[in-house]
Structure formats: C-alpha cells, structure tokens
Amino acid sequence: MKKVLVIVGPTASGKSARAITLAKKRGGEVISADSRQVYRGMDIGTGKITKKKMSGIPHHLLSVTDPKKQYSVEQYKKDATRALLDILARGKTPIICGGTGFYVDALVHGTTIPSVPPNKALRKKLEKMSATQLFALLKQKDCARAKAIDAHNPRRLIRALEIVETLGRVPKQKSVPPRGLSFVWTGVDLPDVTLKKKIHTRLLERIKKGMLVEVKKMKARGLSWKRLESFGLEYKWLARYLQGKVEKKEMLEKLETDIWHYAKRQRTWFKRNKKIRWV
C-alpha cells in the first residue's frame, strides 16, 4: 500500500506549515484542497501560499483556472487524482492539504459526483438570490441534500439546485476509494481564543498586503460584483464595500465574524471523520 498523507483543519490553524515540514522530511509534494485557491489572481484573499513559504516544495492545484470560469468538484477530483498518481509514479509522497472538506472527500474517498452539465439560464436566475433564499429553495426541492450541504455557500447551493432541476433530486453519493493507497489523516486545530486571534491578525495583514487592490483588479478584468460576492468571505465583503453598501468598519467586523463561523463549519465537517488524528 502506497502512503498518502492528508492534512485538514479550520482556516488559519497552520495546515500549510505542517504540510511543508512533512514534505521536507518525507520527500513529499503538496496537493492543495482549497476551492478558491484553484483560481488565478486570487492570492491574498485566499491566503495562497507564496513561493518563498513553499521552501522549494512543489505544490499542485493552485492557480489552475480563471475566476470567470466555473470550477466544479468533479473537475477538482479529476485534476487532483492526476497529480496524485504523478507524484506517486515519481517515488514521492503526496500530501493533500486544505480546508475544503468536499474536495478532500471527493479525492480521498473517491466520491462519485453526478455528471450534470451547467445550466446557464438557471444559474443566471439563481445567482440573483441570496444564500438564505437558495437554501430555502433546496430544502423545499430536496430536503435530504439540504441537510448535508453548507447552507452558507452560494456556489454549492446553486450546483445542487442545478442537479435537482435535471435529475429531480441529488443522488446519494457513492464512494469508491482509490485502490492500493493508504491514507493517513491529520487534523490541525487551535484553541478558540488562539484561533480567533490568528484570524484577526491575518485579516489585518491581508488588508495591508493589498487585498482590496486585488479585488479591484479582478473587477477591472471583467468579473461582475455578483461573481466576486459568490466567492464568499473576503471577496464578498470587499465587493460590498467597494460598491458602497457597507462602511469599512462594518465590513471588517462582519468579515471577521464570517471567517470565524466558516472555521467552525470546517471543524464540524472534519469531526465526523473518526480516522483523523488531531494535533
């Protein structure tokens, strides 16, 4: 059995640093499992690791697509599996690292995703709705899927409704784990007080590094306000601030609160996996 390391946990907990340390010890390469870091130009807001911090360790699935395009979990599974097999073929140790539980599970457990093509007309209609409205609609159409989905993630809600529109419901996901691989799970977390402090400090650092300028550049490249807001968290609140919908103080306060709530949702997702050894 070939060993694959998996490092998960909430945002700002220190997953990337641990992945780098293990990669140096084991001759490994990192496969990112972050649903926003796959997009080019979204570096500061997503906390994408810099070349300097990579310390020469190859990283995969970072900046692989344009933010104007939709990048699904199906595509991630395909691309990440290709990267994983390539790393193994070269005698290296793959280290899957990230906080997007849906991506991690699709890759590690081999979760099968319904093959439903995008419905542009439906998406255009659904993108005008808030996450609360989308969740209420999904709950009405497919209560079972609504119970397991992230109710605060517009992109995932829209995709679920798209599948429901085509198939009548979201089929129960089946898992077919890759053969010949042994996955070793590690969860990285911090006490609430420490994690909240790190989230606060990191947010201020990102503002200083030019996160606002990054969002302005994305808008100048043709991304709509709606598209920017669909990426959630930093992009959602900075887009609203640039539109004059909120003042800077309110934007920072609500953004920090949203990041904390996101961290708690990540914990909830990963705590269901009893194979994870928490450090």
- At 248-277, the pLDDT tens digits run 999 999 999 999 999 999 999 999 999 999
Which of the two residues, 115 and 59, has the higher pLDDT score?
59
CB neighbours of residue 179 within 10 Å: 7
pLDDT for residue 146: 86
Which tens digit of pLDDT belongs to each residue from 58-81? 999 999 999 999 898 889 999 999
What's the rounded mean pLDDT across residues 148-168? 84
pLDDT at residue 176 tops 70: no
pLDDT of residue 229: 93
pLDDT reported for residue 118? 78
| Least confident residue range of 14-23, 29-38, 106-115, 129-138 | 106-115
- What average pLDDT does the structure give for the chain? 93
Q: Which of 10-24, 112-126, 190-204 has the lowest mean pLDDT?
A: 112-126
Whether residue 108 is predicted with pLDDT greater than 70 in this model: the reply is yes
| pLDDT bracket for residue 165 (50, 70, 90) | confident
Q: Residue 197: its pLDDT value, please? A: 98
Identify the pLDDT of residue 127: 85
The model's pTM is 0.85
* Average pLDDT of span 10-39: 97
Q: Please check the confidence at residue 169 and state whether its pLDDT lies above 80.
A: no
Q: What pLDDT shows up at residue 117?
A: 78
262-267, Cβ contacts within 8 angstroms, sequence gap of 24 or more: 262/10, 262/11, 262/152, 262/232, 262/233, 263/10, 263/11, 263/12, 263/13, 263/195, 263/199, 264/10, 265/150, 265/152, 266/9, 266/10, 266/11, 266/99, 266/101, 267/9, 267/10, 267/189
According to the model, what pLDDT value does residue 147 have? 82
What's the CA dihedral at 173, 65, 13, 23 to 10 degrees?
Answer: 100
